[in-house]
Every structure is written in structure tokens, then in C-alpha cells.
Structure 1
Amino acid sequence: MENGNKRLAVLVGCNYPNTPHELNGCINNVLAMRDVLVKRYGFNHNHIELLTNAPGSLVMPTGANIKKALDQMLKKAEPGDVVFLQYSRHGTKIPSAKPGHPFRQDEAVVPCDFNLITELFGADASHKFNIHPHELDSSESLRTEEGILLSGCQANETSADMNPMMTGGKAYRAFSNAVQMVLKDHLGSLSNKEVMLLARKSLEAGDFAQHPCLYCSDENAYAPFLWQPQGSGL
């Protein structure tokens, strides 16, 4: 399925156990996605870096380890490769440190050591990872780039956990579970936009208040999710 190009992934799941911020489904999310990547999208196990704070985990999702894993993945990547990051965890907003923006807030991801990461890819990073919003009702003109991001909710919302009674006794994050169910029910190639819209429809049917968003160029909105070739569904 790789056709000479590598498929690389970093999967980060952080449940924050025994803290006031504890989540339940993040680790199950990334384990389920790892299976999807290998079985459906042709990823090699050796090209998937898994970081979770499950008991006995080999690599904990600390701020330093996440940055190291991403840096190593990007150093391996070459033109034509597929690079995938899943980050199932808490996010937050902090006052911007950039001059001239006194009221701006920057988004940050929250590793298991609560060492906030405000910038995964610096100013010198490849343009392919500088991503912009592609929303159905967006009127803002944005520069076209190559990065693609599916987010579980809008910036002013929070992403929910699934009730384990709804998922065979296992806890999952609602959006990640919706994406995996969409892929299970549609074995043919789906565009990034189709995955997002179908996941949003699934969440609405389950009475979840969050609204998933797709951030990318118009061109990539219609590109196959994870560049699955036509007719390669299992």
C-alpha cells in the first residue's frame, strides 16, 4: 500500500490518572487508531511511535518526549511520505507571549507532566505543517498549505468522553470513536471532508454538543483521508 513511500505516525494518549483533570478514553483511542493505521492504511508497526501514560508504558507522553518523537518523525519524512499525528489529551489556552497581541490567547497542548507545549513546529518548520481552518461557513481568506487537521470540537467547545456502556465497556473519546466508526462503516476511500462531516453527523445523533472541524486547504479537504487509494478498502 505504501508504493515506495513511508507512512509515519506518532500517537499520543494521555488520561491524567489520579488528577482533577482525569480523562478515560484517550489511551484506548490511540490503541484503536494504531490498529486502523496498520490494518487499513498500510502503516508499518515499526513506523508508529506510541506514547501513553498507561501502567508499564515504555515512553511516557511528557512534553520533552512528545517533541522528541515529532522531531524524529519529521527527520525521517521525505517528499511523498504520509505523516500522521494523533493527540488525544487535554488542551488549554494561555495568554500570548507574542508582542503586539495583548488580548490574544495561544492554544497549548497538555502533556502528562503538565509542561505546556505552545508550538509543536517552529517558524523554521516545513510549510506542510502550517495548517489553517477550512470550515463550511468560513469567509476568511487563508493561505493554502499542505497540512491537514481534524479537531474534535470548535475552539470554544470541549470534547467529551463516551459512556463505556455505549462502547462495549471500554472508554473512548467521542470524536475519535466517531471517526473509527465512520471508517469501519465505509470501507471505500473517503475524503477528509467526508470523514469530518460523517463524524459530526454521528456525534449529533448521539446528542453530543461538540462540532468537529477540518483545518486544511480547499484542495486537501477533498483529498483521500490518509491518502487511501481508491478501491483499497478492506
Structure 2
Amino acid sequence: MKLALCIGINDYPGTENDLSGCRNDADDWAAALIARGFDTRRLLDSAASGAAIRAGIRDLLGRATDGDAVVITYSGHGTWVPDEDGDEPDHRDEALCPHDIAENGPLIDDELHELFALAAPGVRTVLIADSCHSGTLTRLNHPIGDRPGRARFLPPSTFLTPQQRLRASLTTGPRKSRDRASTTVLLAGCRDAEYSYDASFDGRPNGAFTYVALSSLAALPESATYRDWLHAIRGRLPSQDYPQTPALQASKAQLAWPILT
């Protein structure tokens, strides 16, 4: 069994930081996954609340058994929050931004780690994230596409309380770091200290990473592996106009998996 959930959020009410290409990203990932035999559903804009995203991930992982594949794609804003449990060397937890982040907060990496840990042994889990993970909101001056790009980063000041913002600004001493090992493959649009960008190609909004990843995938043979895919993507990103470095977190065995199977 192959199961997929594609999340795309352009609309962020109360933040003044709407995006343009994320719904198209979700549609494009869904089309690619359906073509590979995945039972695929989408969560777009207001349907992609924090509760709905959590429930969607739990549902897929609850249905999957040994030998099955689960793929989650996320296109939208990324952000960070102050690390509360001392497991982050940079004192920040990276996070995804649901549609209702202004009311109910982000989905942090610690919780994602716990959600994916629900997968039964032998289930192949993959998370593809086209979002920023840290930094501040910026714009590109000379994008590759048809119009200026916007970083997919939501400033923490948008949703943190004044007390949380103060704590985030304080310099603290060394923190402990616990084992963050995960059996989930993570393909991300950028490194933690970089930005993923909205772009536009032939007049159609898309994430720069999603566009490159899917067009690179279409040119690869069916036998290609995640290692091959990353190599093809990095042949086009980072670029002078899109200084984002796609990242792949996977074990040696996972690097040799056939893509999206």
C-alpha cells in the first residue's frame, strides 16, 4: 500500500505573509505521487489546520503496515520557536506553519519526530518540505522565474507572545543534545539556516525547490535512487538567484531506495 498526504498553504490570515505557489506545489506533488500509484489526499489553505495536519499524518501512519510507503509533502511557511527542552544546539526548534498558526501555533520538529515514530516497523516514511526553517523574512532581488520571489519564512514575532520573543532573544549557555535519530527520510528545500523561495515559471507560481525537484525527477530513470535525485536537484540549486541548498537526511540504506516507492 502506498499512501500520501500533500499539504499546500498560501493563505495565512492575520500574518500579512501570504504566499503564491504552495497550492500549486501540493497539486504537482499529488499528480506525481498518483502517477506512482499512491492513494493521495490534499490539505489546502484553510483545510490545513494544525489539527488536520496532525490527524492526517496519524491516519496514514496508522493504516500503513510492514512494506508500505507513506509520503508527506508540505509547502508553506517555515519558522522557529525557542527550544524548551534543551535538545537543539542553536536553541531553536524548527517548525512548520499550519493555516491557523496565528491562533493555534506552529507544528514543531519535536512533535513531527514523535508523529513519525508512530509508523510500524518496515514502513517507508518520507517527508518532503518546501519551506524555510530559520532566519528572517527576506526577498530576492533577481529571481530565476517570472517575478520577484518571497522567502517561505514566517517571522516568530507573528505568533509568539512578548515573553516568548524575549526568551528567544536571550543568549544562553551550552545546551544538552539528545539523540534525534529518525527512520524517516527528510528531503528539504533548504538547510536550516537558509530560505526556500516562492517563484513563478511560465506565469505559474511554484516553489523553486518543488519545481526543480519534480522536473529533475521526471528526467531520471525509474531505477533512480534518493542519492541520484539529490544529485540532480543540486545540479540546479543552489543558484545565483536562489541561494537555497536542498538537503537530504537519510541512512545509507535509504539513500539507495528507489524514489517514491
Q: In percent, how many aligned pairs have the same letter? A: 28
Does structure 2 conserve the Cα–Cα contact (< 8 Å) formed by 1:10 and 1:70?
Answer: yes
RMSD over aligned CA atoms reads 2.6
Match of 1:122 among 108, 114, 118: 114
1:34 maps to 2:34: no
Match of residue 223 from structure 1: 257
Does structure 2 conserve the Cα–Cα contact (< 8 Å) formed by 1:196 and 1:214?
Answer: yes
Alignment size in residue pairs: 200
Gaps of 5+ in 1: 1-5, 54-58, 132-141, 228-234
Amino acid at match of 2:54: K
Query: Shift in Å at residue 143 of structure 1?
Result: 8.4
Query: Shift in Å at residue 120 of structure 1?
Result: 2.2
Does structure 1 conserve the Cα–Cα contact (< 8 Å) formed by 2:6 and 2:26?
Answer: yes
1:176 maps to 2:210: yes
Does structure 2 conserve the Cα–Cα contact (< 8 Å) formed by 1:144 and 1:217?
Answer: no
Does structure 1 conserve the Cα–Cα contact (< 8 Å) formed by 2:126 and 2:186?
Answer: no
1:69 maps to 2:103: no
Gaps of 5+ in 2: 128-178
Does structure 2 conserve the Cα–Cα contact (< 8 Å) formed by 1:130 and 1:145?
Answer: no
Query: Shift in Å at residue 121 of structure 1?
Result: 4.1
Q: Name the structure where strand makes up a greater proportion of residues.
A: 2
Q: 1:62 to 1:143 in 2, by over 3 A?
A: closer
Tell me how far apart the structure 2 counterparts of residues 103 and 26 of structure 1 sit (CA, whole Å): 28
Does structure 1 conserve the Cα–Cα contact (< 8 Å) formed by 2:30 and 2:41?
Answer: no
1:87 maps to 2:74: yes
3-state SS of 1:9 partner: strand
1:149 maps to 2:149: no
Amino acid at match of 1:161: D
3-state SS of 1:172 partner: strand
Does structure 1 conserve the Cα–Cα contact (< 8 Å) formed by 2:12 and 2:100?
Answer: no
Q: 1:144 to 1:203 in 2, by over 3 A?
A: same
Match of residue 95 from structure 2: 108
Q: TM-score, normalised by structure 1?
A: 0.77
Q: 1:130 to 1:12 in 2, by over 3 A?
A: closer
Tell me how far apart the structure 2 counterparts of residues 168 and 154 of structure 1 sit (CA, whole Å): 27
